[in-house]
Amino acid sequence: MRIQILKNAGEVSRAAACFIVNRISKNPRLVLGLATGSTPQGTYAELVRMHRQGDVSFADVVTFNLDEYLGLSGDHPQSYRHFMNGTLFSGIDIKPANTHVPNGTARDPNAECEAYEQRIIAAGGVDLWLLGIGQNGHVAFNEPGSAAGSRTRVVDLSESTIAANSDGRFFSRPEDVPRRALTAGMGTVADARALLMLATGEKKAEALRRAIDGTPSPDCPASLLQGHRDFTVICDELAASLLGDAARGGK
């Protein structure tokens, strides 16, 4: 695991975008896993800026998002498809057909989850998956208790995630947040050839400490990724504030 601790969220966004652009320059057909939420927004803005500047083309890149709310269609303003179109896809030259987000309104959500796994396999697997981390250590919508080998499936959101997502950034009231979601599993994520996890702000400090310094356990799903062969964490000082010396020196 490589851990890069930077001054603030702006530096994290720039470093993460450079990391991704570097991987695309080595492999223009990169299969890139993506996350939603507040954390990667700056990275997406930076990727759009670098694309406009001519630093990177996404013409042959294929993307897979981690998750989607069950019951929300892609044109719902709070759907993750809508978020991705607005924050990244509309600002770069990616082919819409190359962007994948689980379908939140699939008639058979379980079949959609299985089909999503098959689409990832058909694309050759994910080369690099960009991840955030929840305050309770979740990754995608893999809430505490998720097994290391879990695959894409329908899950219930925890009360703490519903609360975190209804603080006004996305939904303004807890009752508006869908209770279920389709999510790539911990096993789906761990299958990626490389992982890049971002964490910013003091609210993430305890989750990041458990993810990096804690004993791997489903109680903190992010900790299950510790043994991954190509795992980079880029975080700011606030998120890193509870890490021990070993992690600060690079593990």
DSSP H or E stretch at residue 195? strand 194-199
CB atoms within 10 A of CB 150: 22
- Our finding on whether 185 is near ligand F6R (CB under 6 A) is no
Cβ pair 62, 89 in contact under 8 A: no
Pick from 33, 37, 102, 185 the residue near ligand F6R by CB under 6 A.
37
The residue of the chain with the least Cβ separation from ligand F6R equals 132
Residue 5 or 181 having the CB closest to ligand F6R: 181
Residue 66 or 195 having the CB closest to ligand F6R: 66
Burial of residue 129, with CB atoms counted within 10 A of its CB: 0-12 exposed, 13-18 middle, 19 or more buried: buried
Instruction: Quote the CA–CA distance of 85 and 31 in Å, as a whole number.
Output: 17
Which of these is catalytic: 143, 165, 191, 228?
143
- Our finding on whether 78 is near ligand F6R (CB under 6 A) is no
Q: How far apart are the first and last CA of the chain?
A: 6
Smallest distance from ligand F6R to CB 62, Å: 17
Which of these is catalytic: 46, 67, 112, 127?
67
Residue 90: what are its φ and ψ, rounded to 5°?
-75, -15
Pick from 12, 48, 66, 239 the residue near ligand F6R by CB under 6 A.
66
Pick from 11, 14, 21, 38 the residue near ligand F6R by CB under 6 A.
38
What is residue 145's DSSP assignment?
T
Does the active-site annotation cover 202? no
**Which residues make up the interface to ligand F6R (CB under 6 A)?**
35-39, 66-67, 132, 134, 138-140
Catalytic residue positions? Answer: 67, 136, 138, 143
